[in-house]
Amino acid sequence: MADGNTITARGIPAAIAPPRAGTLQRLARRRSTLAFLMTLPLLAVIGGLVVYPFFYAIELSMLNKRMTRFVGLDNYVFLLGRETFQLVIFQSVLFAVSAVIAKALIGFVLAHVLHTLPARGQRKWRGMLLVPWVIPPAISTLAWWWLFDPSYSAFNWLLAGIGAAPVPWLGDPGWARFAVILVNTWYGAPFFMIMYLAALKSVPDQLYEAAAIDGASAWQKLRYVTLPMMRNIISITVLFSLIVTFANFDIVRVLTNGGPQDRTHLFGTYAFQVGIQSGDIPLGAAVSLFMFPLLAIFAIFILRGVSRRTKEGL
């Protein structure tokens, strides 16, 4: 009833200003100052190390290679005209979309399967299935790298066992792209699984019981109860994963370093190669900033989904 009123009262002092500014009002003002001081370090981090670098990136991306001259949008135009960069755009989209679809599907299936298990066994299986997400990707990709080794590949050893020819995992552009997507799926599917599992658990059992009594089949329960109840969390998870996958660095960097023939470069790894390794800071900044519009759109949709969740109180 009175929830939050002590707070809002201060927000509009003009509307309900009492005849005199008493001690309580002074206290309220002091509280507001205190609150500001408590958030100051947070503001410093966000302002100094996120917002400022962002604008600095825009400035950098408009300089020439030696950072002595303003060149406007030349870097962007140059990049767009370059075949390698066109490949990077295509590969980033391909990588993000296919990896996210694979992760979402696997995660959904696993969450469902886990949800059908009795509660006691669930914990153990869930514990094992989340392991890929727990190991730092830069570390676990080393294991994959070794599994894909041209001469010692343990996968090829298994293939040889069934009489198949060895696969050039990281040597052939097509296979390399597949490998990169595979590793990302391996790393990210558990995250989807855990998110969906949490969402599944939040669907009240009575809904399924009601649906069963109404004569719904298992498929209809999924279609008319589970999916609508999970729609919001599915979209939040997918959008979030699109951002993270699209901006991935670790896996490609360790596994292929963009090769062969730049066929697995993403925005992140390409920006690193151009900006840090080749020393063309402005061009690298421009490569990174190309990601921004897409990321911003995804972020806005996530924010919408999250605030809707908050409003619905789910």
Q: Which of 62, 79, 243, 255 binds other proteins (CB under 8 A)?
A: 243
How many angstroms separate the CA atoms of 229 and 233, rounded? 9
How many residues bind other proteins (CB under 8 A)? The answer is 119
Q: Which of 73, 86, 127, 210 binds other proteins (CB under 8 A)?
A: 127
The site string for other proteins over 61-90 (x = CB under 8 A, - otherwise) reads ------------------------------
**Cis peptide upstream of residue 260 (ω within 30 degrees of 0):** yes
Q: Is the dihedral of CA 164, 166, 168, 170 positive or negative?
A: positive
The site string for other proteins over 245-274 (x = CB under 8 A, - otherwise) reads -xxxxx--xx------------xx--xx--
Q: Which of 75, 104, 137, 180 binds other proteins (CB under 8 A)?
A: 137
Q: Which of 178, 208, 224, 292 binds other proteins (CB under 8 A)?
A: 292
Please give the C-alpha separations between residue 123 and each of 102, 168, 192, in angstroms, as whole numbers. Answer: 24, 38, 16
114 binds other proteins (CB under 8 A): yes
Cβ of residue 5: shortest distance to other proteins, in angstroms? 6
Q: Is the dihedral of CA 116, 117, 122, 126 positive or negative?
A: negative
Say how many C-beta atoms besides its own lie within 10 A of residue 49's C-beta.
10
The site string for other proteins over 36-65 (x = CB under 8 A, - otherwise) reads x-xx-xxx-xx--xx-xxx-xx--x-----
Evaluate whether 284 touches 61 at the Cβ level (below 8 Å): no
Q: Which of 125, 150, 210, 228 binds other proteins (CB under 8 A)?
A: 125
Which of 231, 211, 213, 230 minimizes the C-alpha distance to 221? 211
